[in-house]
Amino acid sequence: MSNTPRKKSGPERRSECPLNASVEMLGDRWSLLIVRDMMLRGFRSYKEFLECYEGIATNILADRLHKLIANGIITAAPDPSDGRKLIYSLTAKGIDLAPVLTEMVLWAAAHEDTGNHALVCQMQNDKGKFLDAIRERWKSSGARRP
């Protein structure tokens, strides 16, 4: 886990509990799916996120991207090769969500009848290696599609 400075005097929270902080930042039906698409599918642009398997609406996507930026989980930068595009990237904080994502995937895979067995097996066989690979791919912001 990387050590970025903690947010001081941040947004008003319902409680001081760290789990509640996570839930307030990520506890909805879309935010983690966007992070998934960045981390696992290498998505970087608004248009790509729209293609997510679950079919997010355009206004919700824009809203969630803003909130993820506000929470320091992703950043947006103009694409130098196309002035219309923004390139979204995971911050260190965003990359640190990899263990959360992994545990959620393993939990669902263990108890529900879900797909993407290749990913699940990879996670099961060597969780540490899988996490290292994700961190490696995003080092120096040079992520490419897997």
Residue 134's binding partner among DNA, a second copy, none (Cβ under 5 to 8 angstroms by kind) is: none
142 binds a second copy (CB under 8 A): no
61 interacts with a second copy by CB under 8 A: no
Member of 76, 106, 119, 120 binding DNA (CB under 7 A):
76
Burial class (CB in 10 A: 0-12, 13-18, 19+), 94: buried
Contacts 24+ apart (CB under 8 A), 130-139: 130/102, 131/98, 131/99, 131/102, 134/39, 134/95, 134/98, 135/95, 135/98, 138/39, 138/89, 138/90, 138/95
Q: How far is the CB of 29 from a second copy (least distance, A)?
A: 5
Q: Residue from 23, 61, 76, 133 that binds a second copy (CB under 8 A)?
A: 23
Choose the one of DNA, a second copy, none that binds residue 90, judging by a C-beta under 5 to 8 angstroms depending on kind. Answer: none
Instruction: Please answer whether residues 37 and 48 qualify as being in contact, where contact means their C-beta atoms are separated by less than 8 angstroms.
Output: yes
Options 22, 62, 139, 141; binder of a second copy; rule CB under 8 A: 22
| Span interacting with a second copy, options 43-51, 60-68, 91-99, 138-146, rule CB under 8 A | 91-99
Among 42, 45, 67, 72, binds a second copy (CB under 8 A): 72
Q: Positive or negative, the Cα torsion across 108, 112, 114, 118?
A: positive
List of residues contacting DNA (CB under 7 A): 28-30, 45-48, 55-60, 62-63, 65, 76, 79, 82-86
